[in-house]
Amino acid sequence: MTIFDNTLDADGALIVGAGLAGLFTALKLAPRPVTVLSPKPLGMGASSAWAQGGVAAAIGQGDSPRAHAQDTEMAGAGIVDHGTAEGVTAEAVARIEDLARWGTPFDRDDFGNFELGREAAHSANRIVKVEGDRAGWAIMQAIIAEVRRTPSIRVVEGITALSLARDNGRIVGVYCRRLGDRYSEPIYIRARATILAAGGLGGLYAVTTNPPGVRGHAMGMAARAGAIIADPEFVQFHPTAIATGADPAPLATEALRGEGAILLNDLGERFMPAIHPDAELAPRDIVARANFRQIQAGRRVFLDTRQVLGADILTRFPTVSKYCHDAGIDPVNDMIPVTPAAHFHMGGVKVDERGRSSLPGLWVCGEASCTGLHGANRLASNSLLEAVVFGARIAEDIGGLEPARSLAPFEGIEWNEAEGNKAEEVLRNTIAVQELRRIMGDLVGVERDEAGLKAALRQIAHLEATAEQVTSAFLNMTTSATLVAAAALRRTESRGGHFRLDFPEPSGDWEHHTEITLGEALAIRAGA
């Protein structure tokens, strides 16, 4: 199909985003036609490929979906949707079987049983993994290979979505631009069904474990189109990003603490046992705040794997070992310096049990969505599970739209490595983007208060008004930042990933999800 008048037709469903959520949905839609939009070649820009832990599933002897759901609800600090937790955990085994059938080389013992790991707040070993800490990468490689073999899936690389297209209140496609092309007219891609699966917002923060392109664009697009947003204030900070100064920060997987690694400060003091009965395996928000407070007090924090792993870390956790080696750290003999980093967004576009948003024609999947599964604090390794469960549900919900057929490629759109890398560097080094990330890290981070949140909202508004070039991409970022800060200001309590210094305890009045629109967030911002 050639470009004519800057309008293209998806000839079926359109998926924005090519991480696990988007690609899994595409495969589940096969053989019905689907077009997948990806800014970079498949596997290069998605958070899914960076996931180290694995997929949580009650697949071991003595475990059960109900126990998994109970752990999910406990970690979620009182606002996990019970029905969602029970439904997702019940579907976990079937989705693991899908991934295995498509070639994911999950770790197995000599009898073919899954080797299961444990992570924080899980009551059983139920993390299905690959080579210790390579699950995300391995799953994505298998999924990508299957996508490439599927003729009903058209993958368009080198294109980025800017905004959703509406007609009579319905989402009818997206406006896009070739990566690196800031001056031509946007391309409009029509679709009967649009699935937004373009990731979270960790890159809005100065210190993050997320890929550079994951900066709230998905939630920002949906909010600007009028979608209801749920729980945007709940941002999960991973306690143990490796403190190398790299951007993004490499991750030291929670599975290391599952193996018995401990946290120490630079005085050699182990501080977690005095904070929580589960010590280093306490819920992530508690460990992240403990590390944050050590650093705020002038201490450095280290993850010590030497006693429990020693030289085994090199073979059992090759990804972490490589990160350490690249930073000049010897994890066999040295402790690993760590710091909290923005990692996962529990909030997002509000969806129902089928993945439908409040806007007709728009489904949302993966970290861009808020399904109610995570509540105020995600249970470790539930994110990949959520992506595949809701990917399958969305595919079933929209599967009858089109007959089975293969698709021809779009002409004139392709990945250009030099242009793509240049575009990312330009965005990363833009003064307004750097300032936005500083604001979020300093004022809307691990710990918050009224004065800081109001200052953040005023500064975000000032950035929008004075930035040299206010593009759709930048507006998507500031929109998401505004939603997080406004909802955090409105929630006058502490719960899970949202901690207010001026309201340090949870409140029964707030034992529910947040629902907010961009208009409501802008009104809060105007009053700050």
Question: What band does 117 get if pLDDT is binned at 50, 70 and 90?
Answer: confident
What topology does CATH give the domain 417-527?
A: Methane Monooxygenase Hydroxylase; Chain G, domain 1 (1.20.58)
What topology does CATH give the domain 238-340?
A: Flavocytochrome C3; Chain A, domain 1 (3.90.700)
Q: What's residue 413's pLDDT?
A: 64
Q: How far apart are CA 310 and CA 475, in angstroms?
A: 47
Q: What's residue 120's pLDDT?
A: 77
* Identical topology for domains 1-234+346-415 and 238-340: no
pLDDT: which is higher, 426 or 197: 197
Length, in residues, of the chain:
528
Q: Per the omega criterion (within 30 degrees of 0), is the bond before 151 cis?
A: no
Q: What's residue 255's pLDDT?
A: 84
Averaged pLDDT for residues 87-94: 98
Q: What's residue 9's pLDDT?
A: 84
Question: What's the pLDDT tens digit per position in 239-248?
Answer: 999 999 899 9
Find, among 500, 201, 205, 216, the residue nearest to 341 by Cα: 205
Question: Which of 174-178, 229-233, 256-260, 425-429 shows the lowest per-residue confidence on average (mean pLDDT)?
Answer: 425-429
Averaged pLDDT for residues 410-425: 63
Containing 434, the helix (H) or strand (E) segment is helix 431-443
Question: Which of 253-262, 326-335, 386-395 shows the lowest per-residue confidence on average (mean pLDDT)?
Answer: 253-262
Q: How far apart are CA 187 and CA 6, in angstroms?
A: 5
Query: Residue ranges of the domains in the chain?
Result: 1-234+346-415, 238-340, 417-527
Q: What's residue 7's pLDDT?
A: 84
The pTM assigned to this predicted structure is 0.92
* Partners of 324 in beta bridges: none
Q: How far apart are CA 474 and CA 435, in angstroms?
A: 12
| Tokens matching residue 176 | 């896009």
Q: What's residue 294's pLDDT?
A: 97
**Helices 431-443, 472-490: inter-axial angle, 10-degree rounding:** 10
Find, among 179, 109, 168, 104, the residue nearest to 142 by Cα: 104
Q: How far apart are CA 78 and CA 438, in angstroms?
A: 31
Q: φ and ψ at 345, to 5 degrees? A: -105, 115
Contact residues for 56 (Cβ-Cβ < 8 A; gap 6+): 68, 92, 119, 122, 126, 127, 128, 379, 380, 381, 382, 384, 385
Q: How far apart are CA 173 and CA 12, in angstroms?
A: 11
Q: Note the helical H segments in 102-216.
A: 135-148
Question: What band does 130 get if pLDDT is binned at 50, 70 and 90?
Answer: confident
Containing 516, the helix (H) or strand (E) segment is strand 515-516
Q: What's residue 495's pLDDT?
A: 97
Question: Which of 89-103, 259-273, 413-427 shows the lowest per-residue confidence on average (mean pLDDT)?
Answer: 413-427
| Tokens matching residue 375 | 């509540």
3-state secondary structure 220-283: HHHHHCCCCEECCCCEEEEEEEECCCCCCCCECCCHHHHCCCEEEECCCCCCHHHCCCCHHHCC
Look at residue 50 and tell me whether its pLDDT is greater than 90: no
Q: How far apart are CA 256 and CA 354, in angstroms?
A: 35
pLDDT: which is higher, 343 or 133: 343
Averaged pLDDT for residues 203-219: 92
Question: What band does 2 get if pLDDT is binned at 50, 70 and 90?
Answer: very low
Look at residue 425 and tell me whether its pLDDT is greater than 70: no
Question: What band does 405 get if pLDDT is binned at 50, 70 and 90?
Answer: low
Averaged pLDDT for residues 254-258: 88
Containing 344, the helix (H) or strand (E) segment is strand 336-345
Return the beta strands (E) in 69-178 as ranges: 116-117, 127-128, 153-157, 159-167, 170-178
Look at residue 417 and tell me whether its pLDDT is greater than 90: no
Averaged pLDDT for residues 18-30: 95
Number of H helices, E strands in the chain: 15, 20
Rg (CA), the chain: 22
Question: Cα 249 vs. chain centroid, distance in angstroms?
Answer: 15
Question: What's the pLDDT tens digit per position in 354-383?
Answer: 999 999 999 999 999 999 999 999 998 999
Report whether 414 contacts 158 (CB < 8 A). Answer: yes
Q: How far apart are CA 258 and CA 59, in angstroms?
A: 18
Question: What's the pLDDT tens digit per position in 452-477?
Answer: 999 999 999 999 998 877 688 899 99
Q: Which of 32, 284, 393, 525 is catalytic?
A: 284
Report whether 135 contacts 253 (CB < 8 A). Answer: no
Q: How far apart are CA 135 and CA 137, in angstroms?
A: 6
Look at residue 186 and tell me whether its pLDDT is greater than 90: no
Containing 370, the helix (H) or strand (E) segment is strand 369-370
Question: What's the pLDDT tens digit per position in 434-458?
Answer: 999 999 999 999 999 999 999 999 9
Average pLDDT, the chain: 91
Containing 316, the helix (H) or strand (E) segment is helix 313-316
Question: What band does 3 get if pLDDT is binned at 50, 70 and 90?
Answer: very low
Helix-strand-coil percent breakdown of the chain, rounded to 5? 40, 20, 45
Report whether 306 contacts 329 (CB < 8 A). Answer: no
Q: What's residue 4's pLDDT?
A: 40
| Tokens matching residue 314 | 């090199």
Q: Is the dihedral of CA 438, 442, 448, 453 positive or negative?
A: negative
Report whether 436 contacts 201 (CB < 8 A). Answer: no
Q: What's residue 481's pLDDT?
A: 98
Q: φ and ψ at 59, to 5 degrees? A: -115, -10
Contacts 24+ apart (CB under 8 A), 170-177: 170/359, 170/360, 170/361, 171/225, 171/359, 171/360, 171/361, 171/362, 172/361, 173/10, 173/14, 174/14, 174/16, 174/37, 174/221, 175/472, 176/37
Tell me what percent of the residues of the chain surpass a pLDDT of 70. Answer: 91
Tell me what percent of the residues of the chain surpass a pLDDT of 90. Answer: 75
The question of whether 101 is a catalytic residue gets the answer no
CATH of 1-234+346-415, one of 2.130.10.10, 3.40.50.880, 1.10.4080.10, 3.50.50.60: 3.50.50.60
CA angle 103, 54, 386 (to 5 degrees): 90
* Partners of 116 in beta bridges: 128
Q: What's residue 195's pLDDT?
A: 98
Q: What's residue 180's pLDDT?
A: 66
Q: What's residue 6's pLDDT?
A: 83
User: Reading across the β-sheet that carries 170-178, which strands appear in turn?
Assistant: 7-9, 187-190, 170-178, 159-167
Look at residue 79 and tell me whether its pLDDT is greater than 90: yes
